[in-house]
């Protein structure tokens, strides 16, 4: 790892640690997560510094596509790939899915997994942690510009900056590395689908995060990629429900496991940690 990457990673680790200290989460005797900065009885709950409070552990249902069953509008996405992009798709196979190498799936694909995420907030920042393929997103929420060009380098998760539009956090994401996929190898909305969903470094994502009520969070994204797509692709709105736990879990991803085995093992871990009779979907 380069010295600059180590420095950036260290700064991010300090920022996340600060978020954890700022927004401590206690669990009462019944195991109900109780945020010190949230009024869980009000959909208009705010942080102590006056921003809408999105904090907590959240989980959506898994989404994907098979012929005749498409819960993420991937058929539309597939039709948007340009002729040049289709040529690249033909040169790839389902085995090229970067998650098979344990690379973290970028948002919006990350929400398709149906695995918990955790959000922390501190003044001027939101941090989004993923349970599957563990990753951390540090998102400035003041509308400030993206990272200065001399320090900006492409990553799987991109570079985020955000502003508040009423009760909605609007996140603008650029600087992707062009290696992430928008869906998985098993996602094939049509009989002719190849299960290949590439992106380019030109990808630009705009996300909208909104807390609807005490236990509900909504997510929607618009994806632009002029090198791959003929027009923007808008995802359906995804509903997250609050999980009554104080933190997400983690499971080491090993490339030799493969994606399905890894997610099954992660589900088994969650079942054990939560004392559930059935692993969450």
Q: How far is CA 17 from CA 10, 21, 57, 147, in A?
A: 11, 6, 17, 21
pLDDT of residue 263: 72
Residue 278 pLDDT greater than 70, yes or no: no
Query: What's the pLDDT tens digit per position in 222-266?
Result: 999 999 999 999 999 999 999 999 999 877 788 777 667 777 776
pLDDT of residue 252: 77
**H and E: helices and strands count for the chain:** 5, 14
Residue 195 pLDDT greater than 70, yes or no: yes
Domains of the chain plus CATH, in order, are 3-274 (2.40.128.20)
Query: What's the pLDDT tens digit per position in 137-167?
Result: 999 999 999 999 899 999 999 999 999 999 9
> What's the whole-number mean pLDDT along residues 109-120?
96
pLDDT of residue 255: 79
Burial (CB < 10 A; 0-12, 13-18, 19+), residue 28, is: exposed
> Are 73 and 221 a contacting pair, CB within 8 Å?
no
Radius of gyration of the chain (CA): 19
pLDDT of residue 251: 72
pLDDT of residue 271: 61
């Amino acid at each position: 790892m380069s010295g600059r990457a180590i420095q950036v990673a260290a700064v991010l680790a300090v920022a996340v640690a600060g978020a954890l200290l700022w927004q401590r989460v206690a669990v009462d005797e019944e195991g109900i997560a109780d945020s010190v900065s949230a009024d869980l009885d009000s959909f208009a709950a705010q942080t102590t510094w006056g921003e809408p409070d999105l904090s907590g552990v959240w989980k959506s249902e898994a989404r994907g596509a098979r012929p005749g069953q498409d819960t993420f509008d991937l058929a539309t996405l597939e039709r948007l790939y340009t002729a040049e992009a289709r040529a690249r798709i033909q040169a790839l196979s389902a085995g090229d899915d970067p998650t098979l190498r344990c690379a973290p799936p970028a948002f919006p694909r990350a929400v398709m997994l149906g695995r918990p995420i955790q959000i922390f907030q501190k003044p001027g920042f939101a941090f989004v942690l993923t349970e599957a393929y563990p990753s951390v997103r540090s998102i400035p929420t003041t509308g400030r510009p993206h990272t200065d060009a001399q320090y900006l380098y492409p990553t799987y998760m991109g570079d985020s900056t955000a502003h508040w539009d009423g009760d909605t956090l609007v996140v603008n994401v650029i600087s992707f590395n062009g290696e992430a996929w928008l869906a998985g190898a098993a996602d094939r909305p049509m009989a002719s689908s190849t299960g290949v969903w590439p992106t380019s470094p030109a990808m630009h994502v705009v996300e909208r995060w909104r807390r609807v009520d005490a236990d509900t969070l909504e997510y929607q994204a618009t994806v632009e990629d002029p090198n791959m797509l003929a027009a923007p692709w808008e995802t359906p709105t995804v509903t997250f429900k609050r999980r009554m736990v104080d933190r997400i879990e983690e499971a080491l991803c090993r490339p030799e496991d493969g994606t399905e085995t890894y997610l099954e093992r992660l589900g088994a871990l969650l079942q054990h940690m939560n004392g559930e009779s059935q692993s969450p979907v």
